[in-house]
Chain A
Amino acid sequence: MLPTTTQTKILVAMLLVLVTALTTTATLTYFIYDRTLSAQVGSRFEFIARDLKRKIEAGLDLGLPLGQLDNVNELLRQELITDDALVSLAITSAKGVILFDTERGNVGTTQPGPWLDALAQPGADANRLLQEEGRLTIPLANSFGKVVGALQVSYSKAYYDRKRQETLFDLAEVTLIVLLIGGCIGVAGVQFISRPLDHAVVRLEAALRAILLRIHGNAAPVDAGAEPETEIVGFERSLLVAVSAVERAEVEIARAVQPTAGSP
């Protein structure tokens, strides 16, 4: 067990506050990073979704049914290769059947999900973006405003999780380094600042030991010495003066009392 001294207590308290403050700062900073990254991710894929929607709806405006649009597969494929965080791009009918998909195997299958209910609602907003974990869905409407299907943009969550993890490690490393440096400076600073207290305690202990030996008759008189006048030295001197005063008073009273005690 560590020896408990005032200095140790001060050090532990100050380091505890330092660790708490710096880790809290780091955590709050990370929260802001996370929010900024999420906003960036969201807005980038939202831009991709709206840009593709505009291009596909331009085709719908010509009066073609969604499933019969030309070049949609090529358009989706081109878009997919421009961003390595994109996983797949798909176009579904209003009933959720996949009409085009960069993952060919999915074409013809039905994609259930809450987005389908949102699209099925009468008067659904054709510009409303539905966000799910790792996927954005935006309705596709013809020139009359009727929702005829939806575009789904799926992106890699792992890509951004990796980014988050990297940043978290970076931040932890920075915080740890600052804490180590701060801790070293803290230890040195507390040692330096509390030196007078340490010195005072050692001195007071020594003085008390000597006084105890003296009052029990085992040692020579102690002297406060030529130390600079501090409160502890002053107290120690007062203690010595009091002990000496007792000793003097004992001698003097004994002397004053003796003749009286001896008289008849």
Chain B
Amino acid sequence: MQLFRTLRRRLFAFQILLLLIGSCAVAYGALRSFEANLMPDLTRKGDLIARSLAGQMQRALDYGVAFEQLGGVEDLFRSIRSANPEILFITATDGEGEHAFHAGEAEKGSVLKILHETMPAGEGRETHGAVPAAGFLIVSRPITVADQPVGWIHVGVDANFVQQQLSEIFYDILVVLIVSLLLTFELLLLIMANASAPLQALQSVFDHAGSGDRQARLREERWPREVRHIALALGEVVAWLNDRYASLAKAASGQGQPAGAAHRLAPLAEALSALGSAAGGQDAGRGGQHGLVSIRMPLFVFFLAEELSRSFFPLYARSLAEPVAGLSPEIVISLPMMLFMLVVAFSQPFGGPWAQRLGARRLLIIGAVIGAAGLALTALAQSLWALLLWRFVTAAGYGLVFVAGQSYVVVNTDPKNRAWGLAMFVGSVLAATICGPAIGGILAERIGERGTFCVGAGLALLSALLAAWLLRAPRPEQTAARVPPLRWSDVREVLANPRFFALVCLGAMPAKIILTGFLFYLAPLYLASLGNTPSATGRMMMLYGLLMVLLTPFAARLVDRIGHPVLFVVVGGLTSGVGLLGLLWSDGTMMMVAAIGILGIAQATSITPQLALVPAACRDECRRLGQVTVIGFFRLFERIGSALGPLIAGALLEPLGYVATMVAMGIGMATASLLLGLVWNSSERQPKGSVPALPGE
């Protein structure tokens, strides 16, 4: 309903404002407190340096060397400054202020001017504290010979040093804000879905007029407490309307009744239909919204649990790696990641029957508990083999949760609102992709990698509890559509189609290879080698998820408007490849950030159009096997690409090194995209439009 949507929007905007102002106030208060606390220590150190230097110069002058002829003074100043970044300048002046030795960021002339203005010669410049001037805290000590001052040492401490130290908290605050806002969004969605549940259920009743079961459900449903009395009252009114309508219809259509009697029911039928529309408003066709929104929170929490280790997992695997005959250390590090992706890839075809047997709710709870156990045991792993085993367990849990989530969407939607339901599901995955790496990085820095896995295990358990609390047990008629078993003959048949083969091998798989090989495997290792902390790496990786969320819907609309999805796939692939070539120009952190950002933009452009090409490439196969099955095969190969990514990156890393490996992957991606364009254009033209994205990794 519009009322709930408007309220949600207003509350969300209000929370943004509250969080922004609150965080800024806390950060400002902290800065004031830290400055007051740290400044005495900073100036004390400046004084210490000034005193020591004054003593050293004094000894040299005691030997009779003239002030202006002292040697190596500026080198000494420079060496002290290099070890103390908060010291912006060190200057020594003679008694008249005519000769000066100086080392510092600020120019000698400007420093001398400041010194003249703030401490005129002969006015007793020795200070026990620091004199603030032009962004410096200046500490001065006299150089004396025979108890007579012959010069001064001035040490300029950066007055904004504490502020600069705290400036890096800006990024952490930004991460906390984004995560908080996503959490607020999820909570508001859930609360509003609860509040609007009775009216939507009522709308569903009128959508399926005549179904007595649905009317009974309005009375029998386990409603959220805050709307229970409204739902029950509505149920009673609906039952009354239903009973009266049924008896009137019976009376009017009974044998021997005049034809006019039945016509008198028309205004009543119209009024009931209008009541249905009034209850549903613009959400017509979204009867299962309450149920679908309820699954977002457990899914979000579970995927967040797994995403926490994204920014440091390769580093963790490296810490446990041991020599394996015939494999380079780089490939060994990639094995746990490859295994994880492979298990998730095959969980789809093999997990489907479990969803049918156990129901989505139970499967989700079981999967989340298995995932929690896997994450906890990953935290305790002491060897590569233990890590491989526990990653297998975690991946099995992840795969089951994934299948359960999809199954729940299918059960709670009909063809009219399935795309919306899948968007709800994908939304939870993407929200976790944004939050996970950044929060995980911060946690890893504070409590360590093993501690972060433990937090992940706790979150996975929490998601199981949320699922048990929020999800409704399926009613007998709510069973997932039967999933046909995976038949290799069907796979062979689809792969024999050259256009599908080209789309998989030159489009989907390279896109996933570059995602997992570059972003998940190489980026954390390379960024760490450049001296970045896990939290900085997490923030950079967060950029990918953020751009995907923001740009994917925009790109999908653009494809719908312009058509030619293959063009978007080729351009997206080329862009992600070219983005990595930038590392040839500069191999620093900023270029890595750019490469990650470009990958996000490029994949947002190409992922949805790729799916649009599947039915176009396999018209006959879709007719024979069904579109869902063919798209299922496409997703399977895509995920096999995800599994190959770390392995390929690991294999290239040993002989080529980081930069050349990333460049080689970029060239491979760009070449594959160009080849795909050529292969596609050499065959018939494609229909316009795209299909809604199915959930993926």
Contact pick for A174, options B33, B225, B245, B281, CB 8 Å:
B33
The answer to whether A167 touches B37, judged by C-beta atoms less than 8 angstroms apart, is yes
Nearest Cβ distance between residue A158 and chain B, in whole angstroms?
15
The answer to whether A230 touches B248, judged by C-beta atoms less than 8 angstroms apart, is no
Which residue from chain A places its CB closest to the CB of B15 in the assembled complex? A14
Q: Report the separation of the CA atoms of residues A257 and B248 in the bound assembly, to the nearest whole angstrom.
A: 11
The answer to whether B230 touches A208, judged by C-beta atoms less than 8 angstroms apart, is yes
User: Given A22-B23, A197-B3, A197-B195, does the pair A252, B237 have CB atoms closer than 8 Å?
Assistant: no
Contact with B along A229-242 (1 / 0, CB 8 A): 01110110111011
Q: Which of B214-222, B269-277, B557-565, B683-691 contacts A (4 or more CB under 8 A)?
A: B269-277
Which residue from chain A places its CB closest to the CB of B10 in the assembled complex? A193
The 5 lowest CB-CB distance pairs between A and B, nearest first, are A174-B29, A245-B271, A208-B233, A21-B180, A170-B33
Q: Report the separation of the CA atoms of residues A21 and B179 in the bound assembly, to the nearest whole angstrom.
A: 9
Interface status of A109 (Cβ within 8 A of chain B): no
Interface status of B323 (Cβ within 8 A of chain A): no
Q: Report the separation of the CA atoms of residues A244 and B267 in the bound assembly, to the nearest whole angstrom.
A: 10
The answer to whether A235 touches B199, judged by C-beta atoms less than 8 angstroms apart, is yes
User: Given A14-B11, A200-B3, does the pair A205, B229 have CB atoms closer than 8 Å?
Assistant: yes
Which residues of B, 226-252, contact A by the 8 Å Cβ criterion?
226-227, 229-230, 233-234, 236-237, 240-241, 244-245, 248, 251-252
Which residues on the A side are within 8 Å of B261 (C-beta)?
253, 256-257
Which residues on the A side are within 8 Å of B237 (C-beta)?
208, 211-212, 215, 239, 243
The answer to whether A205 touches B233, judged by C-beta atoms less than 8 angstroms apart, is yes
Nearest Cβ distance between residue A224 and chain B, in whole angstroms?
12
Interface status of A17 (Cβ within 8 A of chain B): yes
Interface status of A219 (Cβ within 8 A of chain B): no
Q: Which of B89-97, B108-116, B163-171 contacts A (4 or more CB under 8 A)?
A: B163-171
Interface status of A128 (Cβ within 8 A of chain B): no
Interface status of B191 (Cβ within 8 A of chain A): yes
User: Given A51-B52, A246-B248, A250-B244, does the pair A194, B7 have CB atoms closer than 8 Å?
Assistant: yes
Nearest Cβ distance between residue A26 and chain B, in whole angstroms?
5
Nearest Cβ distance between residue A87 and chain B, in whole angstroms?
16
Q: Which of B38-46, B132-140, B523-531 contacts A (4 or more CB under 8 A)?
A: B38-46
Q: Report the separation of the CA atoms of residues A185 and B272 in the bound assembly, to the nearest whole angstrom.
A: 43
Interface status of A41 (Cβ within 8 A of chain B): yes
Q: Is the interface of B mostly helix, strand, loop or mixed?
A: helix
Q: Report the separation of the CA atoms of residues A35 and B169 in the bound assembly, to the nearest whole angstrom.
A: 12
The answer to whether A249 touches B7, judged by C-beta atoms less than 8 angstroms apart, is no
Which residues on the B side are within 8 Å of A204 (C-beta)?
230
Contact pick for A193, options B11, B41, B244, B268, CB 8 Å:
B11
The answer to whether B191 touches A246, judged by C-beta atoms less than 8 angstroms apart, is no
Given contacts A82-B48, A197-B4, 4 further A-B contacts (CB under 8 A): A18-B22, A28-B172, A171-B33, A253-B251
The answer to whether A253 touches B264, judged by C-beta atoms less than 8 angstroms apart, is yes
Q: Report the separation of the CA atoms of residues A257 and B30 in the bound assembly, to the nearest whole angstrom.
A: 82
User: Given A47-B45, A253-B248, does the pair A182, B18 have CB atoms closer than 8 Å?
Assistant: yes
Interface status of A248 (Cβ within 8 A of chain B): yes
Q: Report the separation of the CA atoms of residues A181 and B187 in the bound assembly, to the nearest whole angstrom.
A: 22
22 A-B contacts (beta carbon < 8 Å): A13-B184, A13-B188, A14-B15, A18-B22, A21-B179, A29-B34, A33-B38, A40-B41, A47-B45, A174-B26, A182-B21, A190-B11, A197-B195, A208-B233, A232-B3, A238-B275, A238-B279, A241-B275, A242-B268, A246-B268, A253-B261, A256-B260
**Could you tell me how many residues of chain B have their Cβ less than 8 Å away from some Cβ of chain A?**
90
The answer to whether B49 touches A47, judged by C-beta atoms less than 8 angstroms apart, is yes
Q: Which of A3-11, A90-98, A117-125, A142-150 contacts B (4 or more CB under 8 A)?
A: A3-11
Interface status of A209 (Cβ within 8 A of chain B): yes
Which residues on the A side are within 8 Å of B180 (C-beta)?
17-18, 20-21
Q: Report the separation of the CA atoms of residues A31 and B166 in the bound assembly, to the nearest whole angstrom.
A: 10
**Could you tell me how many residues of chain A have their Cβ less than 8 Å away from some Cβ of chain B?**
86
Q: Report the separation of the CA atoms of residues A201 and B4 in the bound assembly, to the nearest whole angstrom.
A: 12
Contact pick for B267, options A31, A166, A185, A249, CB 8 Å:
A249
Which residues on the A side are within 8 Å of B279 (C-beta)?
235, 238
Q: Report the separation of the CA atoms of residues A186 and B464 in the bound assembly, to the nearest whole angstrom.
A: 31
Interface status of B265 (Cβ within 8 A of chain A): yes
Contact pick for A249, options B45, B52, B258, B268, CB 8 Å:
B268
Which residues of A, 191-221, contact B by the 8 Å Cβ criterion?
193-194, 196-197, 200-201, 204-205, 208-209, 211-212, 215
Nearest Cβ distance between residue B375 and chain A, in whole angstroms?
21
Which residues on the B side are within 8 Å of A200 (C-beta)?
3
User: Given A6-B227, A47-B45, A47-B84, does the pair A13, B191 have CB atoms closer than 8 Å?
Assistant: yes
Contact pick for A171, options B23, B30, B192, CB 8 Å:
B30
Q: Report the separation of the CA atoms of residues A88 and B248 in the bound assembly, to the nearest whole angstrom.
A: 101
Nearest Cβ distance between residue B137 and chain A, in whole angstroms?
14
The answer to whether B45 touches A174, judged by C-beta atoms less than 8 angstroms apart, is no
Interface status of A178 (Cβ within 8 A of chain B): yes
Contact pick for A245, options B166, B230, B267, CB 8 Å:
B267
The answer to whether B19 touches A29, judged by C-beta atoms less than 8 angstroms apart, is no
Which residues of B, 165-200, contact A by the 8 Å Cβ criterion?
165-166, 168-169, 172-173, 176-177, 179-180, 183-184, 187-188, 191-192, 194-195, 199
Q: Report the separation of the CA atoms of residues A21 and B183 in the bound assembly, to the nearest whole angstrom.
A: 10
The answer to whether B271 touches A238, judged by C-beta atoms less than 8 angstroms apart, is yes
Which residues on the A side are within 8 Å of B173 (C-beta)?
25, 28
Q: Report the separation of the CA atoms of residues A230 and B6 in the bound assembly, to the nearest whole angstrom.
A: 12
User: Given A33-B34, A47-B52, does the pair A21, B19 have CB atoms closer than 8 Å?
Assistant: yes
Interface status of A71 (Cβ within 8 A of chain B): no
